[in-house]
Structure 1
Amino acid sequence: MKKTMWNLMLATTLIGAICGCGKKGPATSSTAPATSSSKATPIIAVSVLTMNNPFFKEIVDSMEAEAKKSGFELLAVSGDFDVARQQNQIKDFIVKKVSAIVLCPCDSKAIGPAIQEANAAGIPVFTADIACTAAGAKVVSHVATDNYLGGRMAAKAMVEALGGRGKVAILDFPEVESVLLRTKGFQEKLAELNKAADCDITVVTILPGGGDKAKSFKVTQDIIQAHADLAGIFAINDPSALGAVAALENAGKLKQVKIVGFDGQPEGKKAIAAGKIYADPVQFPDQIGAETVKLIVKYMNGEDCPAEYLIPTALYRQADAAADAAK
């Protein structure tokens, strides 16, 4: 059955795949996905969480550059934080008979049935940045930041920023697996560090900021009203951190409350340089995009693909911003 489906896809796009987690792709007789005599260029279809966040735009741009090198066309759309919209986009990809699908899921669990539809159609699915955690949904490879270790790095930065003492809030986005890993790493590292006599940091509230600047602005306003003695905020991405910055500036509390963000996007780095954000564990979205396409090409050529490919973060402080400015 699988071999028959594969032959059908070859006839259409010269390349196809049968989805399987961390397994070899189907062997092909060609090392390239397309030739000049191809009737149609094979398509990698991508649906990201949002195009309004520069992080995801950079993932798409790097995927497009890498896809072009390998003879693929990239079709990229935005899920706009709407899982129903993203599900419909996947249905459209299936109708178009694309060669591979890449997702940054709007909801790590709710996206499962749509992925299963792609599985049934014989189209390999990959995830980038945000994993799918739905039972029964088959993903070939997941490429992402090591978000758990990044969260632990953020906790160390928070302890450093606060001198080991203070009350902290978390601006969360629990619908996506990458954020769950960040907050888990942050809280577990804090618990470890709090065992030392000179460290006593308490997480007093965890509220959803939606990974969005405007929503995080409003949530931060609520947090500082409820916790007048708040000392720090861990924001799960740069838009959240920038929303917190705006709320604290508006309340005249930016010097009182230290912010640790996550991403290291240009606006975030600019705020770090200005001393408005203490630090960011920096992600490398260009690597996420490029490595995802490289794994797709490997899979198409019948090579082994890892179930997970993680990229470490690097902590970015004001001193790093100063070094960048001096270059």
Structure 2
Amino acid sequence: MERRTFLKLAAGTTLLAGTGMAGINAASAASKEIVYLTPGLDLPFWRYLSKGIEETVKAKGYNFQALDSHNSAETQLRNAQDSIARGVAGIVISPTDSSTAPSVLALAQKANIPVVIGDIGTNSGDYASFIISDNYKGAHDVGVALATALKAKGWESGSVGIVAISQARKNGQARTKGFLDGLKEGGFTGKEAGMQQMQSYTADETFKFTQDLLTANPDMRGLFIQTDQPAIGALRAIKAARRNGEVLVAAFDGIPEFVDLLKSGDLVVSGMQQPFLMGATSGEALLKVLDGGTPEKEITVPIVAITSTNIEQELPTIRKTVFANEV
């Protein structure tokens, strides 16, 4: 599979691509609308990715609409059907999970509407390009950083819990394996405190999961939250249990609140994907198809492990590529 790896972009870099049409049906050729099928706009990561797509395609004269699936495969399929029925020019999809994505891809292929996948991935099906972060490497770096912090406190023989995104998603599987491998390679010698899988992807849900893990594992010294906003719920639960300073928290992705939390040490590390850059890259890939070109089948956007020691240095870049200029 052909791959291209993007380097991080400096803040303010403008991402543009050519536009046009080739090889799609007449209804799509007449359309100037691109839609983004997203798992849930309540999660900042998907909002930032959406902004990247929107900025890129609007710069080339396309209309844009993001359709929220509310983490429901059924809703995502219905959104896809509606979009295809009105003959959109192209679709970017972040599947609700990898196992249900093929249904959407099959419908789009039948209608001859090009699809780019922005994150998560699919178990099968045809698509023009897949924009993906190196979830294994990003989570591996998080695991190493957490193990290092645990060792510095003499807690490497304690236990570490995980609040995971869906393990039906390929990126979820990669994050879990990468993190556990990184923990081991970083010198952690303790045990796993168990794993809870998110369903609603909210801070309140993770608050409860963290309470359960703390109760079941009095020796728990580390916790990995596999996406952004839910990490706030974990920190709240640790504070409510009066375990402040006794459990080190590692996160994934990034929201503006993380900047101060990393500076204060409340978060040890966050493996930040660059969702705005991923969205812009997804938009570029789709525009290339519409212009008659062939984008790389898989394009990898790196993940940046942000800690208290490098946050100031990395902040100018991640303001744009991670936070979409919201911080």
Please tell me the TM-score bracket, short chain as reference.
0.7 to 0.9
Q: Which runs of 5+ in 2 are unaligned?
A: 1-21, 317-327
Residue identity in the other structure for 2:162: I
Please report the RMSD computed on the Cα atoms of aligned residues, expressed in angstroms: 2.0
Instruction: Give the Cα separation in 1 of the matches to 2:198 and 2:237.
Output: 13
- CA shift for structure 1 position 247: 0.5
Percent of pairs with identical residues: 25
**In structure 1, distance between residues paired with 2:51 and 2:128:** 22
Rg: which structure is higher? 1
In 2 relative to 1, CA 242–8 (structure 1 residues): closer, same or farther, beyond 3 Å? closer
Deviation at 1:177, TM superposition (A): 2.1
Correspondence for 1:157: 145
The 3-state SS of whatever aligns with 1:221 is helix
Give the drift of 1:324: 7.5
SS in 1 for 2:210: helix
Residues of 2 paired with 1:285 and 1:253: CA distance? 32
| Alignment-derived partner of residue 166 in structure 1 | 158
Q: Is this contact kept in 2: 1:259–1:279, CA < 8 A?
A: yes
Q: Which has the higher contact order (CA 8 A, sep 6+)?
A: 2
Query: Using a 3 Å threshold, how does the CA distance of structure 1 residues 229 and 90 change in structure 2: closer, same or farther?
Result: same
Shift of 1:280: 0.5
8 Å contact from structure 1 (residues 172, 236) kept in 2:
yes
Hey, what's the Cα distance between the residues in 2 that align with 1:307 and 1:191?
Answer: 33
Residues 233 and 260 of structure 1 are in contact (CA less than 8 Å); yes or no, is this contact kept in structure 2?
yes
Select which of 9, 27, 38 maps to 1:12: 27
CA distance in 2 between partners of 1:263 and 1:139 (Å): 25
In structure 1, the residue matched to 2:234 is 244
Give the TM-score of the pair, scaled to structure 2: 0.83
Per-residue CA deviation, residues 69-111 of structure 1 (Å, 9 max, x unaligned), is 1221111111111111111001111101111111111121023
Supply the distance in 1 between the matched residues of 2:73 and 2:31 (Cα, whole angstroms): 28
**Which of the residues 293, 310, 316 maps onto 2:306?**
316
Find 1:270's aligned residue among 257, 260, 272: 260
Deviations 1:136-186 (A, max 9, x none): x21221112211110111111111120144210011122322222111211
Contact 2:24 2:112 in 1 (8 A): no
Equivalent residue, structure 2, for 1:34: none
Deviation track 1:280-300 (CA, whole Å, cap 9, x = no partner) reads: 011111110110111111112
TM-score, normalised on structure 1? 0.83
Q: Which residue of 2 aligns with 1:84?
A: 74
In the alignment, which residue of structure 1 is the partner of 2:136? 148
The one-letter amino acid paired with 1:153 is: D
1:188 is the counterpart of 2:178: no
Amino acid at match of 2:298: E
Question: Alignment partner for residue 120 of structure 1, among 103, 110, 113?
Answer: 110
Runs of 4+ more than 6 Å apart: none
Aligned to 2:59: 69
Distance 1:322 1:105 in 2: 33
Deviation, 1:274, is 2.9
Change (3 A) 1:247 1:97: same
Contact 1:282 1:316 in 2 (8 A): yes
Rounded to whole Å, the distance in 1 between the matches of 2:315 and 2:90 is 40
Aligned match of 2:121: 131
- Contiguous gaps of at least 5 residues in structure 1: 1-5, 15-39
- Give the AA of the match of 1:82: S
Q: What residue in structure 1 maps to residue 194 of structure 2?
A: 205
- 282-291 or 175-184: which moved more? 175-184
Q: C-alpha distance in 1, partners of 2:183/2:174? A: 14
What letter is aligned with 2:133?
T
Q: How many residues align?
A: 289
Q: Residue 305 of structure 1: CA displacement?
A: 1.6
Secondary structure (helix, strand or coil) at the match of 2:218 reads coil
Decide whether aligned partners of structure 1 residues 285 and 311 sit closer, same or farther in structure 2, where only a CA change above 3 A counts: same
1:290-325 Cα distance to aligned partner (Å, 9 max, x none): 101111111122322222111111111123345679
**Can you list the C-alpha shifts for 1:256-279, whole angstroms capped at 9, x where unaligned?**
000000112212223222322111
Counterparts of 1:318 and 1:168 in 2: how far apart (Å)? 21
